[in-house]
Amino acid sequence: MAEISANLIKDLREKTGAGIVDCKKALSESGGDLEKAVDILRKTGAAKAEKKSGRITAEGRVSIRSEGSEAALIEVNCETDFVAKNPDFQGFVDGLAGLVLKAKPSGVEALLESPWDGRKVQEALQAMVAKTGENLSVRRFHRMSAASDEKIGSYIHLGNKIGVLVKLKGPREALKDETARDVAMHVAASSPSYLARENIPAEALEREKAIYREQLKDSNKPPQVIEKILDGKLARFADDVCLLNQAFVKDPTGKQSVAQFLKATHPELALVDFVRYQVGEGLARREDDFAAEVAKARQ
């Protein structure tokens, strides 16, 4: 068998990110054939990825890519903030955002089956699992397209922990980059759940109303007074959760709503869509401390 040179090991490490021992073993198994060694390590990486697949991924990164009238927002999760800050992981997520923009997959499963740099995204993901040593998952993505009378704005916040896309509609002179970015910044800061009150599901309003009614049951107020109080509480609830009702974060007085800001900018300017991703929202977080993890490793 031909001797495995240091340069060949170096080339394989650069291609796969695997460790020296794993690279040397794969090259020995492949008889020094670099491409066969890559395949061997991919298979190894897939096995490692399967072992890690049950581990919690609540950290990660969001990324936005835009071109012309289209934009894409993606969230990819990992286990620790350490990997989230890894340049290789960051480049991987940014590249996936660009692929979503270009390939327009119908969903996450379709994205994972999409070709990318000579292999499927799923294979690239498994290779990144092997490289980082953590379970990784592509959680979600969103594509947004703008018509000729629309403009997309975007904003990334907190070291790529929050990503926002918004879509404005109006006359060309009103569709300014700065305005769209200001609204996107507001969405990042204020985390609205709905665009406007009419978008709140009836069951959500009824749930809030039932809570408020329970709070007032011992108030001894007349029914008609209670109904007025309930109406006021629901209005304040809408102000809190609806984007257009929220107090605009860049207004120093705190009195101007987002809807009023848009109208003051241009009477025909409207906000028609938004999406906000925050890394790990709604996911369980790791609770293991370092000592517990070491103890597990000793078992």
* pLDDT tens for each residue of 273-290: 999 999 999 876 655 444
* pLDDT tens for each residue of 182-226: 999 999 999 999 999 999 999 999 999 999 988 888 888 898 999
Last residue of a domain, one of 119, 145, 171: 145
Residue 12 lies in a domain: yes
CA distance 167 to 240: 21
Is the domain of 75 the same as that of 121?
A: yes
Q: What is the mean pLDDT of residues 4-30?
A: 80
Residue type, 32: G
- The radius of gyration of the chain's CA atoms, rounded to the nearest angstrom, is 25
Q: What is the mean pLDDT of residues 242-259?
A: 95
How many structural domains does the chain have?
A: 2
Residue 192 lies in a domain: no
Domain range for 141 is 53-145
The terminus-to-terminus CA distance of the chain in angstroms comes to 39
Residue 276 lies in a domain: no
The first and second tokens of residue 250, run together, are: 């860049």
Higher pLDDT, 56 or 69: 69
What is the pLDDT at residue 287?
Answer: 52
DSSP assignment string, 126-186: HHHHHHHTS--EEEEEEEEE--TTEEEEEEEETTTTEEEEEEEES-GGG--HHHHHHHHHH
CATH number at residue 89: 3.30.479.20
CATH number at residue 18: 1.10.8.10
Is the domain of 23 the same as that of 66?
A: no
Most confidently modeled of 39-43, 63-67, 207-211?
Answer: 63-67
What is the pLDDT at residue 299?
Answer: 47
Is the domain of 119 the same as that of 77?
A: yes
What is the pLDDT at residue 220?
Answer: 87
Is the domain of 70 the same as that of 105?
A: yes
CA distance 258 to 243: 7
What is the pLDDT at residue 284?
Answer: 65
% of the chain exceeding 70 in pLDDT = 87
| pLDDT surpassing 90 at residue 36 | no
Confidence of residue 25 (pLDDT cuts 50, 70, 90): confident
What is the pLDDT at residue 58?
Answer: 82
